[in-house]
Structure 1
Amino acid sequence: MSNTIERKHRIVILGGGPGGYEAALVGAQLDADITLVEATGIGGSAVLTDVVPSKSLIATADAVAAVRNASELGVCTVTESGESCEVTTVVDCAALNKRLLRMAQTQSQDMLKKLTSAGVKVIFGHAKLASRSAVSISTNTGETQLIEADTIVIAVGASPRKLVSAKPDNERILTWKQLYNLTELPEHLIVVGSGVTGAEFASAYRILGSKVTLVSSRERVLPGEDKDAAQVLEEKFKQLGMQVLSKSRADAVIRTADGVRVELADGRAVTGSHCLMAVGSIPNTSCIGLENAGIKTTDSGHIRVNRVASTSVPSIYAAGDCTDFYPLASVAAMQGRTAIMHALGDFVRPIEVRNVTSNVFTSPEIATVGFSEKDIEEIPELAATSSVHMLPLHENPRAKMQGVKEGFVKIIASKLNGAVRGGVIVGPRASELIFALAVAVEHRLTVDQITAAFTVYPSMTDSISDVSRDLHVRPKIK
Structure 2
Amino acid sequence: MDFDYDLFVIGGGSGGVRAARVAAGETGAKVGLAEESRMGGTCVIRGCVPKKLMVFASEYAEGMHEAVDYGWNVQIGGFDWPKFRKRLEGELDRLEGVYNRLLDGSGVEVFAQRATLADAHTVRLADGTTKTAKHILIATGGWPAVPDIENGELAITSNDVFHLPEMPKRLLVIGGGYIACEMACIFNGLGTKVTQFYRGAQILRGFDGEARGHISEHMQRHGIEIHCGTNILSMEKVDDGIRVRSTTGDSFTFDEVLFATGRTPNTKGLGLEEFGVEIGRRGEVVVDEYSQTAVPSVYAIGDVTNRVQLTPVAIREGMAFVETVFKGNPTPVDHALIPSAVFTQPEYGTVGLSEEDAREQEPIEVYSTSFRPMHKSFIERDDRVLMKLIVSQKTRKVLGVHIVADHAGEMIQLAGVAVKMGATKEDFDRTVAVHPTMSEELVTLKTPVRTA
Corresponding residue of 2:136:
152
Q: Of 6, 16, 19, which residue of structure 2 is paired with 1:20?
A: 16
Task: Check conservation: 1:166, 1:173, Cα contact below 8 A.
Answer: no
Task: Check conservation: 1:37, 1:125, Cα contact below 8 A.
Answer: yes
1:318 Cα deviation from its structure 2 partner: 0.9
Corresponding residue of 1:121:
109
1:167 Cα deviation from its structure 2 partner: 4.7
Superposition map of 1:107-186 within 5 A: 107-138=95-126, 142=127, 144-165=128-149, 167=151, 169=153, 173-186=155-168
Q: Distance in 1 between matches of 2:393 and 2:177?
A: 33
Q: Of 246, 253, 276, which residue of structure 1 is paired with 2:258?
A: 276
Corresponding residue of 1:445:
423
1:390 Cα deviation from its structure 2 partner: 1.3
Q: Supply the AA of the counterpart residue of 2:106.
A: A
Q: Which secondary structure state, in structure 2, belongs to the residue aligned with residue 355 of structure 1? A: coil
Corresponding residue of 1:417:
395
Q: Distance in 2 between matches of 1:306 and 1:291?
A: 16
Alignment of 1:432 onto 2:410: yes
Corresponding residue of 1:94:
82
Q: Distance in 2 between matches of 1:17 and 1:136?
A: 19
1:454 Cα deviation from its structure 2 partner: 4.9
Q: Supply the AA of the counterpart residue of 2:135.
A: T
Q: Which one is further off, 449-458 or 219-228? A: 449-458
Q: Of 54, 58, 76, which residue of structure 2 is paired with 1:57?
A: 54
1:398 Cα deviation from its structure 2 partner: 6.8
1:44 Cα deviation from its structure 2 partner: 1.1
Q: Distance in 2 between matches of 1:454 and 1:404?
A: 28
**TM-score normalized by structure 2?**
0.91
Task: Check conservation: 1:39, 1:125, Cα contact below 8 A.
Answer: yes
Q: Supply the AA of the counterpart residue of 1:309.
A: S
Distance 1:404 1:245, change over 3 A: closer
Corresponding residue of 1:44:
41
Distance 1:353 1:74, change over 3 A: same
Name structure 2 gaps, 5 residues minimum: none
Q: Distance in 1 between matches of 2:245 and 2:88?
A: 32
Alignment of 1:461 onto 2:439: yes
Q: Distance in 2 between matches of 1:300 and 1:459?
A: 43
Task: Check conservation: 2:44, 2:95, Cα contact below 8 A.
Answer: yes
Alignment of 1:11 onto 2:1: no
1:233 Cα deviation from its structure 2 partner: 1.3
Q: Distance in 2 between matches of 1:455 and 1:151?
A: 51
- Give CA-to-partner distance per residue, 1:379-426, whole Å, 9 cap, x none: 2xx2x2x2221122535x577579783221211122233222111111
Task: Check conservation: 2:27, 2:327, Cα contact below 8 A.
Answer: no
Corresponding residue of 1:104:
92
Q: Distance in 2 between matches of 1:431 and 1:348?
A: 32
Task: Check conservation: 1:354, 1:369, Cα contact below 8 A.
Answer: no
1:190 Cα deviation from its structure 2 partner: 0.8
Q: Supply the AA of the counterpart residue of 1:148.
A: T
Q: Distance in 2 between matches of 1:458 and 1:121?
A: 53
- Give CA-to-partner distance per residue, 1:193-218, whole Å, 9 cap, x none: 11111111111111111111111111
Q: Distance in 2 between matches of 1:112 and 1:459?
A: 41
Q: Distance in 1 between matches of 2:184 and 2:252?
A: 16
Q: Supply the AA of the counterpart residue of 1:274.
A: E
**TM-score normalized by structure 1?**
0.87
Superposition map of 1:331-346 within 5 A: 331-346=313-328
Aligned residues: 445
Distance 1:25 1:64, change over 3 A: farther
1:455 Cα deviation from its structure 2 partner: 5.0
Alignment of 1:265 onto 2:247: yes
Distance 1:322 1:343, change over 3 A: same
Distance 1:240 1:288, change over 3 A: same
Distance 1:64 1:76, change over 3 A: same
Q: Distance in 2 between matches of 1:404 and 1:440?
A: 31
Task: Check conservation: 1:393, 1:404, Cα contact below 8 A.
Answer: no
Q: Of 211, 218, 228, which residue of structure 1 is paired with 2:200?
A: 218
Q: Which secondary structure state, in structure 1, belongs to the residue aligned with residue 372 of structure 2? A: helix
- Give CA-to-partner distance per residue, 1:66-112, whole Å, 9 cap, x none: 112223333334xxxxxxxxx43311111222222221121111111
Q: Distance in 2 between matches of 1:277 and 1:107?
A: 26
1:236 Cα deviation from its structure 2 partner: 1.3
Alignment of 1:195 onto 2:192: no
Corresponding residue of 1:325:
307
Q: Distance in 1 between matches of 2:330 and 2:189?
A: 44
Q: Which secondary structure state, in structure 2, belongs to the residue aligned with residue 362 of structure 1? A: coil
1:176 Cα deviation from its structure 2 partner: 1.4
Name structure 1 gaps, 5 residues minimum: 1-5, 78-86, 472-478
Corresponding residue of 1:34:
31
